[in-house]
Amino acid sequence: MLKPGSRYSNENDGCATVSGAICPGRSWHKVEFDDGYKNWYQHQDLAKCDEDNQVPECKGNRSTWNAGWGACSTYVEGNVNHLFCSKDISNGLKAEEVCSECQLCESIAQADLEEDPEPCNTRECRRRERMRRREARMELRRARIERRKARREALRQEWAAKFRGSLFI
């Protein structure tokens, strides 16, 4: 399987059967995953497949959790909030701990409704996926700018209230 957090970890989360040895420092090797997806990878991008990889159960109340940027439903992959799953906190819980949309925890109700998506095997599908990722990066940049503006405005208001009537403002 692809190492979580590696440069290609978002391409496939399945297991692969490897016929030969893939050694550190060697060239690229073609890997075929059990779902039919094929690509070239180096040793540094691969990890032993862990079939018992259990996702923990989500904590908190997903229906009331909101860190100020939207409810759990806005953290689905493809939305800009998905990129902030590990950063957005409300009531001491991060989005990744409460929202199953972040794909780092699983709610019992969500597990029953979940379907396996169709694997992306065609060139057109991969092109659409690249375009979607590019759009997500641009959306992330816009969201960062908006968050910075919101932070600056909050600081301005805080300072204005703190120093109201003084000579500094």
Categorize the per-residue pLDDT at 45 as very low, low, confident or very high, splitting at 50, 70 and 90. Answer: confident
Question: 85-95: per-residue pLDDT in tens?
Answer: 888 998 899 99
Domain annotation covers residue 115: no
Which helix (H) or strand (E) element contains residue 29?
strand 29-32
104-156 pLDDT tens trace:
888 765 444 444 455 667 888 788 878 888 888 888 888 888 888 988 998 99
Is residue 28, in this structure, part of any structural domain at all? yes
In a domain, 85, yes or no: no
Q: Is residue 48 part of a domain?
A: yes
Residue 16 lies in a domain: yes
Q: 20 and 65 in contact (C-beta within 8 Å)? A: no
Q: Is residue 29 part of a domain?
A: yes
Write down the pLDDT at residue 120: 67
Q: What pLDDT score was predicted for residue 160?
A: 86
Q: Which residue has the higher pLDDT, 36 or 109?
A: 36
How many whole angstroms separate alpha carbon 76 and alpha carbon 164? 43
Say which amino acid occupies 47: A
pLDDT of residue 169: 52
- Which residue range(s) make up the domain with 34? 1-53
- The tally of domains found in the chain comes to 1
Higher-confidence position of 12 and 67:
67
- 169 belongs to a structural domain: no
| φ, ψ dihedrals at 7, nearest 5° | -65, -20
Query: What's the pLDDT at 94?
Result: 92
60 CB contacts (<8 Å, ≥6 apart)? 91, 93, 97, 98
pLDDT surpasses 70 at 54: no
